[in-house]
Amino acid sequence: MKIAPATQSKFAKLGIHTPFDLVLHLPLRYEDETKITRIVDLVPGETAQVEGEIIHSEVMYRPRRSLVCQLQDDSGILYLRFLNFYPSQQKQLAIGKKIRALGEPRMGFYGDEMVHPKCRVAGESVPLKQALTPVYPTTAGLPQVTLTKYILAALNELALDDTLPEQILRRLHLPDFASSVRLLHQPPPGIDEDALLARAHPAWMRIKFDELLAQQLSMRVHYRERSRRIAPRLAAHNKLTDALVKDLPFALTGAQKKVWHEISHDLTRRHPMQRLLQGDVGSGKTVVAALAALQAIENGYQVAFMAPTEILAEQHYLKLRDWMTPLGIEPVWLSGSLKKKDKTAAAERIALGDTPLAIGTHALFQTSVEFSKLGLVIVDEQHKFGVQQRLALRGKGTTSKSVRPELVEGTNGTQSERLIEHSQEPHQLMMSATPIPRTLAMSYYADLDVSVIDELPPGRTPIVTKLVSDARREEVFERVRAACLEGRQAYWVCPLIDESEALQLQTALETFATLTQIFPDLRIGLAHGKLSSAEKAQTMAAFKAGELQLLVATTVIEVGVDVSNASLMVIDHAERMGLAQLHQLRGRVGRGAAESMCVLLFQQPLSELARARLKIIYENTDGFEIAQQDLRLRGPGELLGARQSGVPMLRFADLGEDDKLLDQARDIADEMLRDLPEAAQAHLQRWMANEPDYLRT
């Protein structure tokens, strides 16, 4: 198949690099050009095809320059409007021409209209199409007719052999691959349109299963390959870890002990740990991470502890410094906002091995930072880091070498044992306070070991959530005043720092000024991302010490802030925030014995999505249930941080609806790798040949 270079470059933008990619470039939707709808029967918002005669055609300038035509059939008149048009279109749509127009009718400036409908010449010699017309995802300069031509050529020229054995297809009641893709590209007359459009047709189920199976196979292959890589054995000496547990002002929960034992065991193995530690807001993940760090330190290795924001990284630094200093360990702090002199000094301490624990932001994986002997990488809120960032930090531990015996095959077929030098890489512990729904974990984290802290520490009080309209803002002011005068503390969270006329949001600066006027008797602080590190630290320390009664802040306090006396949070313009963010913010209160409340202050009118989000956060306190509902609302992209990380999303399967297929794909992946390795490799080659090695994280 010959493809012009200009067309190839456009294909590349769509992820099409090989002829087989064309086969898997499936329709986004379908157009029905098999029937004609009378103009009088058109339903606003429902795409339909009409046929009639152009009775008027004119370039008009109200409300903007456009070509406006009147199309008439025996039931009425419909306006056709084109904002961008060419002389050839004007000729096609001249008075007296008979045409068919396919589009979405709506009420327009002149009356019922279609804007930029798809038009073609009509007449007795132009029969209606017999099947649905596929519409493909495309890019600028690549018309549907060109895409369709190349896709049909690929379907005719390529061998569409099946990668799944017949016995598996029969067991799962799935059609063969070739007939499935051909049906989706060329739907036959009489097909079940509803099933096709809902992607519930057996042909769609086969494609979605194949995609999920490829993902499961690639994850399992990666999981197996990890066992061939080398990491330092970090024995559990228990001297420092026992000392920390003894010094803590609280006892570890049963869930914390359980996940700590899982992590400790992983660290003793010669293969790199890649464990995801999940726990709801306030479940106590940091102390578990501290124990893991101490086990590495006891073995003479360094630990890198990374967080996505400076305020969170600094909170970790302060907490870990308080825990570690009595044990004779002095952590080093490294962030992008440090002065050059301080940054250089911190980097030198890390490179020389003077400090066993480095805590910071993305500054830790800059090329100028080298570790002396890195044995463990801890990443908090791991989904907020990109793939390359996480790989860069892991790569800083691969300079150390280890030697181990391996069997080597000689030229005469005999085997002998030799000492082979291998690069070591650090263990990885990734933490997330954004609970990951089961289907998402199975799909995108199947190559990781997962530990879950499913128990909150004792003494945490339930948080009452209130939805309050902005019209009742005065009542919220009074509630804040009452809480502060009773000796409690409160947060007032705003979504923006600077004024934005477009969004018309209350800003932190404006709200701080307003609340300072309303509450002259209260001590009020302000925290936002544009403050210097020292200013933020000073404000947070004053609030934690009780010197401030009310903290006005942006979402910089979303994670890492722990003030047990804070029992009230007001989230301004809550309708603008995502579910995970609302849940994280709400978790900043309820950390003491007093009854706590979170007020979600929203502005009318609410969009349907905002209404759905507020309803979910109001009705649920369990982070996993909220995450599951969030998955249904948004899909996996934002939950994974994948838009930043480059992790390819599923193109066809829907994790919210195809959980049964995912379960089947997981089981079949294990079976094929065990019993049918060649078929498994062929399937991976078909689906993953052009994907980047995103699994190495």
Read off the pLDDT band of 225 (50, 70, 90).
confident
Mean pLDDT within 58-83: 91
Q: Are residues 439 and 527 in the same domain?
A: no
CATH number assigned to the domain comprising residue 590:
3.40.50.300
Give domain status of residue 632, yes or no: no
What is the rounded (10 degree) CA torsion for 14, 17, 19, 25? -20
Model pLDDT for residues 131-163, shown as the tens digit of each residue:
899 999 999 889 999 999 999 999 999 999 999
What is the rounded (10 degree) CA torsion for 69, 72, 78, 80? -30
Q: What is the per-residue burial (b if ≥16 Cβ within 10 Å, else e) of 523-560?
A: ebbbbbeebebeebbebbeebbeeebbbbbbbbbbbbb
Taking 80 as the threshold, does the pLDDT of residue 37 lie above it?
A: yes
Give domain status of residue 321, yes or no: yes
Q: Are residues 569 and 615 in the same domain?
A: yes
Contact 506, 572 (CB under 8 A): yes
Q: What is the 3-state secondary structure (H, E, C) of 406-438?
A: EEEECCCCCEEEEEEEEEECCEEEEEECCCCCH
Read off the pLDDT band of 410 (50, 70, 90).
low
Q: What are phi and psi of 10, to 5 degrees?
A: -70, -40
Please count the structural domains in the chain. 3
Q: Which amino acid is at 272?
A: P
Mean pLDDT within 438-456: 77
pLDDT at residue number 411 = 53
Read off the pLDDT band of 497 (50, 70, 90).
low
Phi-psi region of 190 (alpha: psi -120 to 50; beta: other; left: phi over 0): left
Model pLDDT for residues 313-335, shown as the tens digit of each residue:
888 898 899 999 999 999 999 98
Name the domain boundary from 128, 162, 184.
Answer: 128
Q: Are residues 428 and 511 in the same domain?
A: no
User: What's the longest Cα–Cα distance across the chain?
Assistant: 93
Q: Are residues 379 and 402 in the same domain?
A: yes
Model pLDDT for residues 41-68, shown as the tens digit of each residue:
999 989 999 999 999 999 988 778 899 9
Give domain status of residue 696, yes or no: no
Contact 401, 421 (CB under 8 A): yes
pLDDT at residue number 646 = 40
Taking 60 as the threshold, does the pLDDT of residue 637 lie above it?
A: no
Angle at 498 between CA 496 and CA 503, to 5 degrees: 60
Contact 512, 526 (CB under 8 A): yes
pLDDT at residue number 395 = 61
Name the domain boundary from 557, 590, 620.
Answer: 620
Q: Are residues 424 and 533 in the same domain?
A: no
Q: What residues contact 68, with CB distance under 8 A and at least 6 apart?
A: 56, 57, 58, 59, 60, 79, 80, 81, 82, 110
Average pLDDT over the chain reads 85
The two three-digit tokens of residue 318, written as one number: 């302060």
Mean pLDDT within 3-22: 91
Model pLDDT for residues 468-489, shown as the tens digit of each residue:
999 999 999 999 999 999 999 9
d(CA 453, CA 465): 23
d(CA 621, CA 615): 12
Q: Are residues 371 and 401 in the same domain?
A: yes
Mean pLDDT within 35-41: 95
Give domain status of residue 673, yes or no: no
Q: Are residues 505 and 580 in the same domain?
A: yes
Q: Are residues 124 and 42 in the same domain?
A: yes
Q: Are residues 510 and 423 in the same domain?
A: no
Taking 50 as the threshold, does the pLDDT of residue 645 lie above it?
A: no
Name the domain boundary from 620, 644, 666.
Answer: 620
Map residue 215 onto helix, strand or coil: helix
Q: What are phi and psi of 328, to 5 degrees?
A: 85, 20
CATH number assigned to the domain comprising residue 92:
2.40.50.140
Read off the pLDDT band of 222 (50, 70, 90).
confident
The two three-digit tokens of residue 45, written as one number: 């918002």
Q: Which amino acid is at 198?
A: A
Give domain status of residue 544, yes or no: yes
Q: What are phi and psi of 380, to 5 degrees?
A: -90, 150
d(CA 121, CA 101): 9
Rounded alpha-carbon distances, angstroms, from residue 252 to 67, 146, 283, 284, 356: 72, 64, 10, 9, 24
Give domain status of residue 265, yes or no: yes
Give domain status of residue 221, yes or no: no
d(CA 680, CA 168): 13
- C-alpha closest to that of 186 among 199, 196, 176, 194: 196
Percentage of residues of the chain with pLDDT beyond 90:
51
Taking 60 as the threshold, does the pLDDT of residue 228 lie above it?
A: yes
- C-alpha closest to that of 283 among 321, 253, 309, 258: 253
d(CA 107, CA 42): 11
d(CA 649, CA 634): 13
Q: Are residues 322 and 442 in the same domain?
A: yes
- C-alpha closest to that of 219 among 676, 662, 577: 662
d(CA 5, CA 179): 31
Q: Which ranges of 506-603 does DSSP label H, i.e. alpha helix?
A: 508-518, 533-544, 579-586
Its domain, for residue 399, covers: 239-406+417-453
Say which range, 557-561, 607-611, 621-625, 676-680, has the weakest mean pLDDT.
557-561
The two three-digit tokens of residue 527, written as one number: 């925290």
Q: Which ranges of 337-424 does DSSP label H, i.e. alpha helix?
A: 340-352, 387-395
Q: Are residues 436 and 489 in the same domain?
A: no
Contact 555, 578 (CB under 8 A): no
Q: Are residues 396 and 250 in the same domain?
A: yes
Give domain status of residue 174, yes or no: no
Model pLDDT for residues 106-121, shown as the tens digit of each residue:
998 778 999 999 999 9
Contact 252, 263 (CB under 8 A): no
pLDDT at residue number 205 = 97
